[in-house]
Each structure stands twice: as C-alpha cells, then as structure tokens.
Amino acid sequence: MTTATNRGTTIVPEPVLNAVASRLDPSRLHRATRIAPYTAFRIGGPADLLYDAATGDDLADAIDSAETEGVDWFVLGLGANVLVGDGGFRGLVIRNLARHVTWHDDGRCVAESGTVMGDLIRDAVARGWSGLEHYVGIPSTVGGAIWQNLHFLSPAPERERTMFIAEVFEACRVRHERGERATVDAGYVGFGYDDTVFHHTRDIVLDVTFRLAAGDRGAMHRILQENLSWRGARHPWLEHHPSAGSIFRKIEGVGAGRLVDQCGLKGHRIGDAQISHIHANIMVNLGQATAVDVRALIAHAQDAVFEKFGHRLQPEIGFIGSFEPG
Ligand SMILES: Cc1cc2nc3c(=O)[nH]c(=O)nc-3n(C[C@H](O)[C@H](O)[C@H](O)COP(=O)(O)OP(=O)(O)OC[C@H]3O[C@@H](n4cnc5c(N)ncnc54)[C@H](O)[C@@H]3O)c2cc1C
C-alpha cells in the first residue's frame, strides 16, 4: 500500500482560516476551490484556502501567515509530481506564480521559483544561453525542478548519461523552515537522484541563480526538437492523458516500468485511472479518475510486481491532503 503525507488532513476551525485569510491579499485568495485544475493529473478536491503568490517574498510571507496561525500549508508548482486526495487540503495551498526573471550579461540568470521551466528554456535559447534546453517538455516550475533535481538523458545520438539541473545551478534563495531567508549553495541543497534537502525539510525555494554557457542557437534548437520528439514518442501526451509522470521510483538496473509491464498490466484500469498503454510506469487519467482510483491502481501494481518478482515498488509522487471521499 502507498503512504500519505498526512499533510492537509486536520480540520481547521473557520476563525483560524479567517485569521490566515486576513493576512493575505484578498484579490488572490480563493476559498473552497478545487485543486484538480492546477495539477498535471487533473485530480484533487478543494483547498480550504488557495492563494496565488505573485513574488518570492509573497510566497514566503504567505507561509509565515499560515505558520503564525498554526495552519498546515503546501506549495504547489505545476502539480506535476503530486496526487492530491479527493477530500482536498485542510489549510492553505499556495500556488507559486512568482515568475520574475533577471538576465545578466555573463550567462547568469535569477529566476523566481514559480517560473515555468518551458518559458525559461525558450527565453534562454532565444538569448543564446545553453544548459537548460535538455529539460524541454518536462512540466515543472523552477522551484519544482530544484526540489526534484530535474533530469533527462544527454543529447542524441549518444544519450549515454543522465543530465541534472544541478549542473547549471549556482545558488538559491530559500525560506528556511523556521522562517529566516538565506542564500544557499549546491552543498546545502545536496543534489542527488530525485533528491535534495527540500525532500527532507520544509525549506522552500524562493528564487534560483543558474549559470549558463554561451551556446550555438542552431545546436540548441536541434536538442529541443530531438528531445521533444523522443518524449512524444514514448510518453502519453499530457494534454490528452493527464498524469504525474513516473509513478514508481527507479530500480537501478531493473526498471520499475519493465516489471509492471512484465506483469501484463499495460492498459489495466481501475475506474478512470489506467496504466498507460505505451509506458508502464505512467498512470493516466482517462477523464474522471479519482485519487482513490489511482491509489487502488498503485496498490494493484505493487502487489502484482511483489508476487511475481519479490520487488516492492515505491511511489515517487507525493500524496497530498485528505484521501477520504470529497
Ligand atoms: C508527463 C510528465 C513527465 C515528466 N518527466 C520528467 C523527467 O523527464 N524528468 C524529471 O526529472 N521529472 C519528470 N517529471 C516529474 C515532474 O516534472 C518534476 O517532479 C517537476 O520538477 C515537478 O515540478 P512542479 O513545479 O510541478 O512541482 P509540484 O508537482 O507542484 O510539487 C512537487 C513537490 O515539490 C515541492 N515544491 C514545489 N515548488 C517548490 C519550491 N519552490 N520550493 C521547495 N519545494 C517546492 C512541492 O511542495 C512538492 O512537494 C515528469 C512529470 C510529468 C507529469
């Protein structure tokens, strides 16, 4: 069975929610609003409070407000690596819309953490700065990319190694879990495979400084085209089949998806949640899938793989909020 984070499951009294709300800009605050449209899976019940943070400081201040009132909070990027429960989130969900970017002449750029990676990549290539183009087509904010240590295969034709966003990272400004703001380096972030300090603390990335190299625009455009077509041929298309990307953690030398595939589960469906026909480590929402459907499908795949191969698959996505019916 999968495990939930228990984040956003404790009922918050109305006066306490009102106290948090009174600290936030009312024009960007929404009450009892479904989270589903803001996730790549298009699944998830209502947040008590949903706030659109406009800048890095606004993001940090919103967290301060929730902390002051003892209310649970969650920072949502593009929602590309989470499954939000059908019961939604008790407390404050902060959508990160902090998207200001400053470019420097030496190839450094400072991007607020809500900047959409696709937008940043387009801008970098247009300016002739190389290093980000490898990650084209991966749904992510800049903050999510650092949280994850975003990765993809090196350019065609070799594709002989995995490249990581850590390779172009210089520093980032964070809100530490106790509230203080600071600039930290790669040593503090502790980049690993699908791992950073942000998985183990409640620190939040406010903005990131990338160091890019001068590049040939033609070569970069070639990488964009090759990577997009490589992905397009192997992964279900998000616009038609919402998903959260890979569901299970990588098993070195074995391949989680291969094990699911060898259990004959491609196309297997519970409700409107389905194991993709073209990629066995991706589950797709056929339209009306619930979080309960996805959790049941995850458990089914885990049990089948364990029975046949003795491997216990571990989910790589985050489970957010209440998994009780909405
Ligand atoms: C179709 C598809 C394909 C994918 N392909 C790849 C791939 O090739 N390579 C790859 O590495 N990943 C891939 N992923 C996974 C996903 O794109 C990454 O995990 C991405 O970094 C998530 O970013 P996000 O902004 O959507 O974060 P969210 O999903 O919104 O959040 C994920 C986690 O990050 C935390 N977080 C978000 N913003 C911040 C912040 N500012 N500071 C600290 N923590 C933060 C959240 O609180 C949450 O815990 C894929 C996903 C999909 C749906």
Domain membership flag for residue 325? no
Domain membership flag for residue 9? no
Domain membership flag for residue 121? yes
Residues 219 and 122 in one domain: yes
Residues 214 and 262 in one domain: no
Q: Give yes or no for a contact between 73 and 48, defined as CB atoms under 8 angstroms apart.
A: no
Residue 4 has pLDDT above 70, yes or no: no
pLDDT in tens, 251-294: 888 899 999 999 999 999 999 999 999 999 999 999 999 999 99
Q: How confident is the model at residue 1 (pLDDT cuts 50, 70, 90)?
A: very low
Residues 84 and 145 in one domain: no
Q: How many angstroms does the Cα of residue 140 sit away from the middle of ligand 1?
A: 5
Range of the domain at 91: 14-96
Domain stops at, among 52, 74, 96: 96
The model's pTM: 0.97
Domain stops at, among 64, 96, 128: 96
- Provide the pLDDT for residue 144: 98
Q: In this structure, which residue's CA is closest to atom 11 in ligand 1?
A: 150
Q: How many angstroms does the Cα of residue 15 sit away from the middle of ligand 1?
A: 33
- Provide the pLDDT for residue 253: 82
Residues 207 and 253 in one domain: no
Q: Apex CA 148: angle with CA 107 and CA 78, to 5°?
A: 85
Q: How many angstroms does the Cα of residue 142 sit away from the middle of ligand 1?
A: 9
CATH code, 269: 3.90.78.10
Residues 124 and 197 in one domain: yes
Domain membership flag for residue 3? no
Domain membership flag for residue 313? yes
Residues 294 and 267 in one domain: yes
Domain membership flag for residue 6? no
Ligand 1 lining (C-beta closer than 6 Å): 40, 74-82, 96, 113, 138-141, 143-145, 147-148, 150-152, 198, 204-205, 235, 238, 243-245, 318
Residue 107 has pLDDT above 60, yes or no: yes
Count structural domains, the chain: 3
SS3 readout for the chain: CCCCCCCCCCCCCHHHHHHHHCCCCHHHEEEEEECHHHCCCCCCCEEEEEEEECCHHHHHHHHHHHHHCCCCEEEECCCCCEEECCCEEEEEEEEECCCCEEECCCCEEEEECCCEHHHHHHHHHHHCEECCHHHCCCCCEHHHHHHHCCEEECCCCCCCCEEEHHHHEEEEEEECCCCCEEEECHHHHCCECCECHHHCCCCEEEEEEEECEECCHHHHHHHHHHHHHHHHHHCCCCCCCCEEEECECCCCCCCHHHHHHHCCCCCCEECCEEECCCCCCEEEECCCCCHHHHHHHHHHHHHHHHHHHCCCCCECCEEECECCCC
Residues 142 and 220 in one domain: yes
CATH code, 135: 3.30.465.10
Can you tell me which residue has the tokens 């209440």?
A: 322
Tokens of 264: 């004959």
Amino acid at 177: E
Look over the chain and give the mean of its residue pLDDT values, rounded to a whole number.
96
CATH code, 47: 3.30.43.10
Domain membership flag for residue 195? yes
Residues 128 and 225 in one domain: yes
Domain membership flag for residue 7? no
Residues 77 and 187 in one domain: no
Residues 257 and 143 in one domain: no
Mutate to test the pocket of ligand 1, among 84, 147, 151 (most ligand atoms within 8 A of CB): 147
Domain stops at, among 183, 217, 233: 233
Residues 243 and 222 in one domain: no
Mutate to test the pocket of ligand 1, among 57, 58, 81, 320 (most ligand atoms within 8 A of CB): 81
Residues 120 and 135 in one domain: yes
Can you tell me which residue has the tokens 């620190």?
A: 203
What's the length of the chain? 326
pLDDT in tens, 33-52: 999 999 999 999 999 999 99
Q: How confident is the model at residue 95 (pLDDT cuts 50, 70, 90)?
A: very high
Atom of ligand 1 nearest to the CA of 150: 11
- Provide the pLDDT for residue 7: 85
Q: Give yes or no for a contact between 246 and 282, defined as CB atoms under 8 angstroms apart.
A: yes
Q: How many angstroms does the Cα of residue 102 sit away from the middle of ligand 1?
A: 22
